[in-house]
Structure 1
Amino acid sequence: MEHVPVLFVYGRRESYQNYTVAMTAVGGLLRFSLEIGEAEGCDGLLLPGGGDLEPWRYGQGNTASRGLEPERDRAELDLLGQFTAAGRPVLGICRGLQTVNVFFGGTLIQDLPGHRAVGERDRLHVVSTAPDPLGRLWGKRPVVNSAHHQAVDRLGEGLRAVQWAPDGTVEALVHRTLPVWAVQWHPERLTGALAVQGAADGGRLLGAFLALCRHT
């Protein structure tokens, strides 16, 4: 019987229903807790979307950051340290990508026009994708969703951008040597019943990450 990967998420399950549904659909399980010790034994770490990181963590004053979550910042950066030291896979989504970038010493643009959701709906736009590893999933120019106002500025050490919006915004990155992937968009909102015709299948990314967890 194939091993079912378990991913740790810092938070409460009721706050992340879309993630639970999407990950279950592709054969994974999520373990939620506000106790980081509960991450012991998990196959991977999932860093989901949410509010902004505290700007001092990347050397800036607060000019446009909001929805700050200091305790979550501390916990997720600690978890990143644990998982990367152990060589266990990490997937960052939206805020999660920004957390990964800051963890590796990168900086963020605190307010970026043109990428927020429109009302209750995500924007959709084409991205240019490097051939490896994400290019294998959808080709060179998939359509993804967008609902963020911050983004990567300077890349963190060891990270490589692999996907870009038309304005040059980094939409995905990977670590050069560690099993760390991150996307600025929301694959959990492009999976299963939430799939959007003409857009990338977010389940392909989640499934590929589960495969990485099984083989790392």
Structure 2
Amino acid sequence: MRRPAVPPAIQISGPEGRMDHYIRAVERAGGAPVPGYAPEPDSHCLGLVLCGGGDLDPAWFGQEDRGSHPPDSRRDAAELALVRTWLSWGRPILGICRGMQVINVALGGTLFQDLGAERAALHQGEEDVFHPVRTAPGSLLEGLFGENALVNSAHHQGVDRLGEGLVPAAWAPDGTLEGLEHRSLPVVGVQFHPERLPNGGGDGLFRWLMERAVQR
């Protein structure tokens, strides 16, 4: 990718003091990070990254609490508003881990509040758990990672019913959805953590974000 003369500003929404990996990934891809906790939509930015973090309040997708961790209501509301605003702008969004779940809920989807003990070994650990994924034929994720890839997970929730306009793009061996894409808008979500894959293995997703940002 030929880098623009002025790096595109990329808004990053995440937990306070825990965005360093995301910031560095955006910088490696040629963007100018604009990080913040529960920020307002910044119209000067050309792309959006939604970081990982805690659970969404199940009330946002019409459910009672059945295994969710205590929510951060301020962050929930801010990030759902970010997604809806950026969708209206038609600007690219990359959602990572919790960020993928925020995208899904913003578009009317639901979540598994707890994947359960039978899936925990593949997705939860003291550090990232590495496992294979299978990507959907013809998807952006297939183009970036190939038909099969080794990725890193750290989550106990997952996407259940997909939101409007979203299609599945990658799966773990246990069937857990590990990636989604929008049918017509520049929106991608991954349940794994490309910002901290070894040897820059996830940098292609951030380069995709930059490419789409400078096309707007």
Please indicate, yes or no, whether the TM-score normalized by the shorter chain is above 0.5: yes
Q: Does 1:122 align with 2:128?
A: yes
- The answer to whether the 8 A contact 1:8-1:45 is kept is yes
Measure the CA separation in 2 of the matches of 1:154 and 1:35.
Answer: 25
Measure the CA separation in 2 of the matches of 1:168 and 1:11.
Answer: 27
Q: Which residue is equivalent to 1:9? A: 12
SS in 2 for 1:20: helix
Q: Which residue is equivalent to 1:206? A: 206
Q: Does 1:80 align with 2:86?
A: no
Q: Which residue is equivalent to 2:105? A: 102
SS in 2 for 1:168: coil
Q: Which residue is equivalent to 2:186? A: 179
Measure the CA separation in 1 of the matches of 2:59 and 2:133.
Answer: 30
Length-normalised TM-score, structure 2: 0.90
Counterparts in 2 of 1:10 and 1:183: CA distance versus 1, 3 Å: same
% identical aligned pairs: 43
SS in 1 for 2:140: coil
Unaligned runs of 5+ in 1: none
Cα deviation for residue 90 of structure 1 reads 0.8
Measure the CA separation in 2 of the matches of 1:61 and 1:183.
Answer: 25
Cα deviation for residue 15 of structure 1 reads 2.2
Counterparts in 2 of 1:92 and 1:35: CA distance versus 1, 3 Å: closer
Of the three residues 130, 137, 141, the one matched with 2:148 is: 141
Matches within 5 A, 1:27-46: 27-34=30-37, 36-37=39-40, 39-46=42-49
Measure the CA separation in 2 of the matches of 1:135 and 1:84.
Answer: 23
Residue identity opposite 2:195 in structure 1:
E
Deviations 1:38-83 (A, max 9, x none): 6121001111000000001111111111141100111111111111
Cα deviation for residue 4 of structure 1 reads 1.5
Aligned residues: 208
Q: Does 1:60 align with 2:67?
A: no
Residue identity opposite 1:93 in structure 2:
I
Cα deviation for residue 25 of structure 1 reads 1.7
Length-normalised TM-score, structure 1: 0.90
Of the three residues 48, 53, 75, the one matched with 1:50 is: 53
Q: Which residue is equivalent to 2:199? A: 195
Measure the CA separation in 1 of the matches of 2:213 and 2:176.
Answer: 28
Q: Which residue is equivalent to 1:162? A: 169
